A and B are shown apart, each in its own frame.
Chain A
Amino acid sequence: QVQLVQSGAEVKQPGASVKVSCKTSGYTFTSNIIIWVRQAPGQGLEWMGWISAYTGNTNFEQKFLGRVTMTTDTSTTTAYMELRSLRSDDTAVYYCARVAGITPRYPIDYWGQGTLVTVSS
């Protein structure tokens, strides 16, 4: 069965970076887009960007440009999201999720369990 298993919770100081991993299994890794979504406490879902596991191409929500990097490792079928220059308003649960196709023109069909990132001094 398709699974996306994320790394554990992180506590970071303002200005630091965080790198969240997303280990996938149960499907052909390069056949799908991986999307990253975050959810601040009590707030809605916010799309951050996506990466093609096939080509490595990325596309980011404008507010994260210059601060986020998304990568994949096909040998371990793992996706990574790194967010830099953390601020207190980056405190959120970060989700990786699988788009149901090889382009972003498909919905999200599987989600990771989420990784809580807390930014606090």
Chain B
Amino acid sequence: DIQMTQSPPSLSASVGDRVTITCRASQGISNYLAWYQQQPGKVPKLLIYAASTLQSGVPSRFSGSGSGTDFTLTISSLQPEDIATYYCQKYNSPLTFGQGTRLEIK
């Protein structure tokens, strides 16, 4: 099975910082890649799909890029409400998630 590896596992940044999270697939997955945000105690929320398409209603400070095996999620200017764990997921079956990146405010 294709494995999804996120880095870093955790990250501490200041409000206003540019933040980048990476996700690597063990084999090529084209652009079947989504990013989800899970705020503490809440249900995951879709941020990005098809590697770079912003889900409706998601702030434009979030962006995604990549194709094949290497993908990134970027937050251009970190806001306090962005404190969450972020997961990548490949969605050509099996629908494997990355292990998550916990983002904290410094």
Contacts and interface: CB of A to CB of B under 8 A. Distances in A.
Interface of A: 35, 37, 44-47, 50, 59, 61-62, 95, 99-100, 104-109, 111-114
User: Which of B38, B87, B91, B96 has the most chain A CB atoms inside 10 A of its CB?
Assistant: B91
B97 A44 contact: yes
B92 A45 contact: no
B80 interface: no
B34 A108 contact: yes
A59 B95 CA distance: 10
Contact of A106 (B55, B91, B96, B99): B91
Interface in B41-63: 43-46, 49, 55
Interface residues of chain B: helix, strand, loop or mixed (majority):
loop
Contacts, number: 60
Nearest to B6: A44
Interface of B: 1, 32, 34, 36, 38, 43-46, 49, 55, 85, 87, 89, 91-100
Among A35, A44, A99, max chain B CB count under 10 A is at A44
Given A50-B95, A59-B94, A108-B34, 11 more contacts: A44-B98, A44-B100, A46-B97, A50-B93, A104-B91, A104-B95, A107-B91, A108-B89, A109-B55, A112-B43, A114-B43
B3 to A, nearest CB: 13
Contacts of A59: 93-94
Contact of A47 (B43, B46, B55, B97): B97
Nearest to B95: A47
Nearest to A104: B93
Contacts of A113: 43
